[in-house]
Amino acid sequence: MTVKDVVANADLATFNKIDESGLDKFTKLSNFEVSAIFLEYAAKNIRNNRVINAGRGNPNWINTTARLANQKLVNFGVEESKRTFERDDGAMAGFIEGEGVADRFLATLSDTDSTDQFLRSAFDYCVDKLGFDKDAFVKELLDGVIGNNYPVPSRALKYTEQILNAYLQKNLYKGVDLAGETDVFPTEGGTAAMVYLFQELKQSHILNPGDTIAINSPIFTPYLQIPELAEYNLKIVKLAADEDDNWQMTDEQMDTLKDPSIKGFFDVNPTNPSARAYSPHTLDKFKEVVEANPNLVVISDDVYGTFADDYQSIYAAIPHNTLLVYSFSKLYGATGQRLGLIAANKNNVCDRIIKEVTNNDKSIKDAMEERYSMVVPEPNEMKFIDRTVADSRAIGLYHTSGLSTPQQIMMDLFALNSLITDDVDDYLLTSKKVVNYRYHALWDEIGVNVDNSHANTKYYTLVDIYDLVEKVHGEEFGKYFRSQYSYLSFPYRLAKEFGAVVMDASGFGARKGYVRISLANLTSDDYRDLAKCIKSLIDEYYMEFQQDQKA
């Protein structure tokens, strides 16, 4: 039943009685919390519609290949462990021996099973292309999945680091060769990567309380919230990209980064929620920026990098100034596994700033030396990324730091999905196709022009409700709508009346009236239905407007 049917059949008056007086109390909450509350309303929506939750960024797909391969490695690892124990004793087995393990492993792989074929290709790639020692590599994989040793080296397992470097190189750098000069620290998702970096920038006196950082908003909410916490107390300059510029920063906005009082630039690229990758022009501007402001520290969160066409990371443009964050959560449907990383160039600005700070301030130098002398013989030489690892475990637990080894091997397997094909791999192409047809299902049904440019990842899409209502029913109604309703009215009613949840995007720093729709977690049919609900709700507001005009 459409809204028109409902309205024709009933009681128009009820639609004027939607109580919105309580919406004010939501304006202080994070948009993620508001979404959770609206989801509860949606579950009890007055039309009894099924719930359409387009608020969540969690994808509804998974990569099967890596998971099945992981299971094979566990099985084989257990068999190998049984070979070495002093006696066959129930559930207890021993440790894996490296000698000859690669050949024994290859002998278990059939030519017909697709998981086995994947493992064979992955093995060949690592041995032939990356030059790994075959027994040592297979032993790292097996010990890793079995998880019977603390991670050593603690920052990243030896071969894991090289695989992750090859993956980042292939998918994010667009031809710029950085794999050999990049250190990687695998972390518990992009979430931990961000937390560790914020902590370390403070700990290393690179960003001090009262310092100013810049942010390109709208942006994933934590990047707005964390710097404002009392312990960081950073001043934020928001660069506020605009839809009229296709969500690219303008030259004027980029020029503000040239001011040396701007110490950091925290960035999500491609953006969340506006879902655009930076243009080659913007990347060139970054080069200009760091020439003028050489101590600028950029954090680039590239979680959505693979969803844009022809993508290039800021890290590839200004490698010495950029700390790269990546996560396997989105592309591989692995949010529960917590797989992410920090990557930093071996020659990076943070190490240079640490040297400057400690040379200029003896008390800081002494304190830092004292702090890290617990764990390394030459604390002054400790690299920023290794300090990040040590501080992630409060120094005292540096020897047991590092990401769990089964998680590191899972990352290897996801990365190898991509690496074993010379060109772009099918899985990655499929992920782009999936969000693309959902994007079209939504926008074609709404009936508004879409952006098919390379920059648009289509993982999310922003809807400017004010603009949309005006497009549908004209300017006068647009004005009325803006003046009569809270900016939360639309997502609120969409949940309460239609059972559909979208996320208020002003929480990401977008203008009020924008909502974010995730294209990652529902079917195309759902997006078509969501578009219908959106149109019906607009019609409903329009009827209220007409009634009001008559009264």
Ligand X SMILES: *Cc1c(COP(=O)(O)O)cnc(C)c1O
Q: How far is CA 60 from CA 31, 93, 457, 521, in A?
A: 21, 38, 16, 4
Provide the strand spans (E) within 427-494: 460-464
- Establish whether the linkage from the previous residue to 153 is cis, with ω within 30° of 0: yes
CB of 123 to ligand X, least distance (A): 27
Q: Least distance (Å) from ligand X to the CB of residue 498?
A: 26
Cβ distance to ligand X smaller for residue 203 or 221: 221
Site residues for ligand X per CB under 6 A:
57, 189-191, 220, 268, 272, 301, 303, 327, 329-330, 335, 340
> How many of the other CB atoms lie within 10 Å of CB of 79?
15
DSSP codes joined into one string, 235-251 = EEEE----GGGTTPPPH
String of DSSP letters for 1-65: --HHHHHHHS-GGGGGG---GGGGGGTTS-HHHHHHHHHHHHHT-TT-PPPEE----S-S---HH
Strands 262-268 and 460-464: unpaired
Find the shortest distance in angstroms from Cβ 298 to ligand X: 15
Q: Are strands 297-301 and 235-238 parallel, antiparallel or unpaired?
A: unpaired
Report d(CA 160, CA 262) in Å as an integer: 35
Closest approach, Cβ 127 to ligand X, in A, equals 30
| Token pair recorded at residue 245 | 């510029």
Between 219 and 537, CB nearer to ligand X: 219
Residue closer to ligand X by CB (options 335, 401) is 335
State the minimum distance, in angstroms, from the CB of residue 270 to ligand X.
9
Which CB, 57 or 227, lies closer to ligand X?
Answer: 57
Nearer to ligand X, 32 or 95 (CB): 32
Please say which residue, 139 or 330, places its beta carbon nearer to ligand X. Answer: 330
Backbone angles phi and psi of 239, in degrees to 5? -85, -10
User: Measured from the CB atom, is 134 or 330 closer to ligand X?
Assistant: 330
Shortest Å, Cβ 304 to ligand X:
7
* Nearer to ligand X among residue 331 and residue 501 (C-beta): 331
> Which residue is closest to ligand X by CB?
189
Q: How far is the CB of 393 from ligand X (least distance, A)?
A: 18
Q: Is 90 left (phi over 0), alpha (psi -120 to 50) or beta?
A: left
Whether 286 and 260 have beta carbons less than 8 Å apart is answered as no
Choice between 268 and 419, CB closer to ligand X: 268
- Nearest approach in angstroms of CB 313 to ligand X is 14
Beta-strand (E) ranges in 289-422? 297-301, 322-327, 339-345
Shortest distance, CB of residue 61 to ligand X, whole angstroms?
A: 14
| DSSP line for 163-213 | HHHHHHHHHHSTT---GGGEEEEEEEHHHHHHHHHHHHHHHTTSS-TT-EE
For residue 461, the one-letter residue type is T
Assign 69 to helix, strand or coil.
helix
Question: Which residue's CB is nearer to ligand X, number 96 or number 194?
Answer: 194
CB of 59 to ligand X, least distance (A): 9
Angle at 328 between CA 332 and CA 295, to 5 degrees: 150
* Separation of CA 463 from chain center: 21
